[in-house]
Structure 1
Amino acid sequence: MHLLHAEPRSSLYYRYEVFDPWLPSQHAGPQSHRVVVAGAGPIGLVTALALAHQGVACVLVESERQVCEGSRAIVFTRRSMEILQQVGVADQVSASGLPWRFGNSFYRGQRVFRMEAPHDPDDRFFPMINLQQQFLEEYLVDAVRQHPLIDLRWGNRVTAVVQDAKGASLEVDTPEGPYTLQADWLVAADGARSPIRSLMDLKLEGASYEGRFVIADIRIDLPLPTERLAYFDPDWNPGNTILMHREPHGIWRVDYQLPPGEDPEDALKPASLKARIDAQMAMIGHAGVPWEMDWCSVYAARALTLPDYVHGRVLFVGDAAHLLPIFGVRGANTGFQDAQGLAWRLALVVKGTSPESLLNTYSSERVAAAREIIDEAGKSTRFMTPPTRGFRLLRDAVLSLSLTEDFVRPLYHWRTSRPHEYTHSPINCTDDDNTSFHAGPGHGAPPRNVQLGPDDHLLDHLDHQFALLWFTDANAMPADLQVAIREMRDRGIPLRVIAVGRGAPVSGADETLNNAAGHLRDRYGVTASGAAYLLRPDHHVCARWTRLDATRLRAALSNAAGLQGA
């Protein structure tokens, strides 16, 4: 019997709500469903919402009865905000969070590097925004509870998984005992310690680094901007690194590296926490400023991934699929891209439009993304926490030279998380005009947002379907293109047609964007009427043409949906 502590968690700034558990005795009827998502953290919640927006119902099971303990993930990137916009919670995050774009590195009291993330008027969102994970989970839970296609079950823990070619049988424990849940597909979004991954005896590949960090959230009034602050080799923590971030509600995140061999339990004792945080405040010129501890934990840097995210009828996303170092805000931000990339494919498979083999392209794309991130994160991690004497000598040389030499300072760059470009994805079109474009997003790239008006951007007009951006000076789409579009829709492929024209509606399009000034054309490298971009439901580019015709559109959509030869 799965019994949970029912008292709300304590926090200086967040009021926890304890949700009633879902009990099998209160819900008669067969427990057989097309999709079950295990884990109602940010990634599981986004996965469930993305599926629901595709018209696919799911059961979302969560072993806890309240949102996460502590702030945990606090930095969300522009691309994550675009994904959160797609599932309907970006406005709440923007209203509550603290946007920022600068990062600073300090050594011996001197700022030796200042990172500036790019930002221009075409961007709806800032490069980064800080918000505690509890608030994000609250917004997502509210959206889930309002959606009729999602059945959220608190206090339900998956304890066994048995699968065959047709689905998975789950043993689920509750406060009144277990029940069996049948699923055609199981999405494992159950976090870093993933019980489902353990039940299936799957092993992560990669590296675990020796460096450990204490993560402490404190309430304190500091007159400092919302920027990333990194301190290297301070006197009070020699050879190690300290990070600081401002959070909403008067909270500051302080991450400090522990000396080798220190016991994590000892590091979390009140006396140890107080001595080190006091030393950090003194070092930055704020000795004696009163502070209160809200939450703390110990973190170990790991760069690991499953070699495959598809295991029969079980699909892995987020930390269940990979564990990434915090340096560069990669964890949740990478998981959101997993959720978005999986949901549209799984929806096509569940609806019978696409074959199950389409899911393999999810795995190949996201495993490649994880490996790229691990490679970049490894560089940052080795600089932040040198794993060997040789790396430490190199890092210390950079620190010393950076006091006087500009050329070494870019080595402090922390390689911020960025969306992966699926340049070599098998669902990219093989016979389009990608190489003929001299600007704009290419094969596999995420979309380039474009400001269309005072509070109007291109991505505001994209939803959970394929999107055909057709650039035209005409007042109607050619008849053969309209026929091809109807045929593909009849085959079950969701497609939204957006004409980019001169202001008047374009017949045959679902919507016409006024581009009389040509700015959208310029950003997408379009030089002549009749050009087009095909965006996947996760908004990545899978084809672009200098001039589109019906045959090429059919081929590109069939390929992207895994229907070649069907």
Structure 2
Amino acid sequence: MGPSVVSTAVEAFHFAPEYQLPHWPFVPPPELGSDAVVRHPIVIVGAGPAGLTLACDLAKRGVPAVLLDEDDTVGVRGASSRGICYAQKSLEIFERLGIYQRIADKGITWSFGRTFSGETEVYNFNLQASSVSAQPPFINLQQFYLEWFLVDRLLELGVVDLRWKNRVTRIEPGEQGVRVEIETPAGAYAIEAGYLIDASGANSPIRAQLGLDAHVSRSTDRWCISDVRFKKPLPVERWTWVDAPFNEGRAVWQHLMADGVWRIDYQMPEDCDTAYISKPEVAGARLREQLGPGVEFEFVWIGPYGYRDHLLDRFRHGRLFFIGDSAHVVSPFGARGGNSGIQDAANLGWKLALVAQGRAGEALLDSYDAERRPAAAENLKVTSRTARFLAPRSQAEHTMRRAVLALASRYPFARALVNTGRMSVANDYPAGRNLLEGARSVQNLPLRWRDGGPCTLMQLLAEGTHCLGLWFAPTREQVQAVADTAASLPLQLVAIGGDSGLPTLEPDDALGTQLGVHAPGSFCLLRPDAYRAALLQDPTPAAIAAAVHTALAHG
């Protein structure tokens, strides 16, 4: 990160001490030195947010897996913040996995943002206004902390074999599995994966080896991150300038993270010298231009970045699956990159678990690509539009942006056109074989049992792997009629009000609105990832069984 003090003729800019990241020991795997190729049902490559989330999801469901990573620590060496914004859907996933509270305690919860053009506030927003979840719209936390917490949780659960300093050098896909060749400090070995999941990131060596076209597009836009700690705190709000007067009319983002560290992203000229713009004296001069001479601060990290996007044609290739950045990369606007990878993992995890346990059809795994690729394509479209707004490529685009900014402070219609990043939301899924009407995610509502005890939807889905049948005021006769059918399925029945003998939650208007149902007797089927799979007005045993079988690709 450079020397602790960098001197200039004008001012000495101080750096905080470097973060001390944890390291885990290399343990020689049992396959070393053997000619036998051991088969593992599920092997994950890459211990970033997507790979760790998937491993943790499987472990929570009691499904063994092997996780391979070529490093022995978390984060990116030498980089501080990297990914920082974790969206509500991701936070709900972490609630189910058992690390949400640790994230909330360490990170910065926020929902309010301001957008400026020049020195004028164009508009502000409060994301909490449309939320009914037990989790907030966003928490900011340095990515290495998130990965650290996931590793700790994996070690606590003890189901996944986490192998550090294990670098995948080659794979060989087959009809019944994938051969994986691995290098370690103690020598090379090979294993076979029943299913191989590539979570190795944007520069996936597996994708490169297979020659899969990711349709890469590189942006000419350039940025410089300054991670800064101030002596006096600033408001806990997301501030964005479209054309900051203190950055030569270019964009600036300002976010608070854990440990009192602010991440400030400065848009730079496309032809800038990235080494020069990252010098402490240059970054310090930018901060002085923004904050004035009297604000005391220290640097935590400085670094340039550009971005690219890519999208694979298919996320499933037989026994091989791509998740996170190995499958898709989008520009960083709106926090749609890392969150999308986390949600890939949550989509695939329960499907792999049910198939591995013989409780769902193999065809269920096809729905991963059918659902998550359209989600990635939507995120790519949304972030590309933001990039064009922030870095117009033609005179017409410049003219349009100036007009939008001029009108936005006075007219609501124009505010909707100001595009500094459409914030990450849970993607809707299109209709398909397992979602006949398509689906949207249900927020993790705080609920209460009839005896007054607190509960959430994620807590109902946290143990084992099952669908959740939420039944509005069923009768005892209705419940008795479906008891045998429900017992034969991966299905947990919960009543909303009524006197049915089932575990019963107090009626809640927000829950009815989220599920799209209020009428007594109505039955809503939620998948293990909290997406609505079916809504039944006449929940007969045959109708419930058919809905579950469709959701799980049976028959």
Q: Distance in 1 between matches of 2:530 and 2:69?
A: 29
Are residues 273 and 26 of structure 1, via their aligned partners in 2, closer, same or farther at CA, if it must alter by over 3 Å? farther
Q: Is 2:230 the counterpart of 1:220?
A: yes
Q: Is 2:24 the counterpart of 1:19?
A: yes
1:369-380 equivalent positions in 2, closer than 5 A? 369-380=375-386
Are residues 514 and 77 of structure 1, via their aligned partners in 2, closer, same or farther at CA, if it must alter by over 3 Å? same
Q: Distance in 2 between matches of 1:185 and 1:447?
A: 29
Q: CA offsets per residue over residues 317-351 of structure 1, 9 Å max, x none?
A: 11111101111111111111100111111122223
User: Once the 2 structures are TM-superposed, how far is the Cα of residue 556 of structure 1 from its aligned partner?
Assistant: 1.3
Superposition RMSD in Å: 2.4
Quote the residue 1:559 is aligned against: 550
Q: Distance in 1 between matches of 2:31 and 2:366?
A: 38
Q: CA offsets per residue over residues 339-376 of structure 1, 9 Å max, x none?
A: 01111111222233334332221101111011111111
1:285-434 equivalent positions in 2, closer than 5 A? 287-402=293-408, 407-413=413-419, 414-429=421-436
TM-score normalised by L of structure 2:
0.89
Quote the residue 1:169 is aligned against: 179
Quote the residue 1:450 is aligned against: 445
Q: How many residues align?
A: 529
Q: CA offsets per residue over residues 138-162 of structure 1, 9 Å max, x none?
A: 1111110112220111111111111
Q: Is 2:123 the counterpart of 1:127?
A: no
Q: 1:198 aligns with which of 208, 213, 219?
A: 208
Q: Which amino acid aligns with 1:40?
A: A
Q: Distance in 1 between matches of 2:457 and 2:66?
A: 32
CA contact (8 A) 1:123 1:451 kept: yes
Quote the residue 2:541 is aligned against: 550
Are residues 75 and 13 of structure 1, via their aligned partners in 2, closer, same or farther at CA, if it must alter by over 3 Å? farther
CA contact (8 A) 1:121 1:451 kept: no
Aligned-partner SS, 1:244: strand
Q: CA offsets per residue over residues 161-219 of structure 1, 9 Å max, x none?
A: 11110111111111222211221111111112122221222121364322121122122
Are residues 279 and 178 of structure 1, via their aligned partners in 2, closer, same or farther at CA, if it must alter by over 3 Å? farther
Q: CA offsets per residue over residues 124-144 of structure 1, 9 Å max, x none?
A: 111111111121111111110
CA contact (8 A) 1:210 1:387 kept: no
Quote the residue 1:498 is aligned against: 494
Aligned-partner SS, 1:530: coil
Are residues 199 and 382 of structure 1, via their aligned partners in 2, closer, same or farther at CA, if it must alter by over 3 Å? same
TM-score normalised by L of structure 1:
0.87
Q: Which amino acid aligns with 1:49?
A: C
Quote the residue 1:62 is aligned against: 69
Quote the residue 1:3 is aligned against: none
Are residues 150 and 399 of structure 1, via their aligned partners in 2, closer, same or farther at CA, if it must alter by over 3 Å? same
Q: Which amino acid aligns with 2:235?
A: P
Q: Which amino acid aligns with 2:460?
A: H
Quote the residue 2:110 is aligned against: 100
Q: Distance in 1 between matches of 2:357 and 2:494?
A: 25
272-281 vs 527-536, greater mean Cα deviation: 272-281
CA contact (8 A) 1:306 1:321 kept: yes
Quote the residue 1:248 is aligned against: 258
User: Once the 2 structures are TM-superposed, how far is the Cα of residue 482 of structure 1 from its aligned partner?
Assistant: 1.4
Q: Distance in 2 between matches of 1:519 and 1:47?
A: 30
Calculate percent identity across the aligned residue pairs: 33
Q: Is 2:35 the counterpart of 1:43?
A: no
Q: Which amino acid aligns with 1:557?
A: V
CA contact (8 A) 1:119 1:126 kept: no
CA contact (8 A) 2:31 2:190 kept: no
Q: Which amino acid aligns with 1:531?
A: S
Aligned-partner SS, 1:261: coil
Q: Distance in 2 between matches of 1:14 and 1:428?
A: 45
Q: Which amino acid aligns with 1:536?
A: R
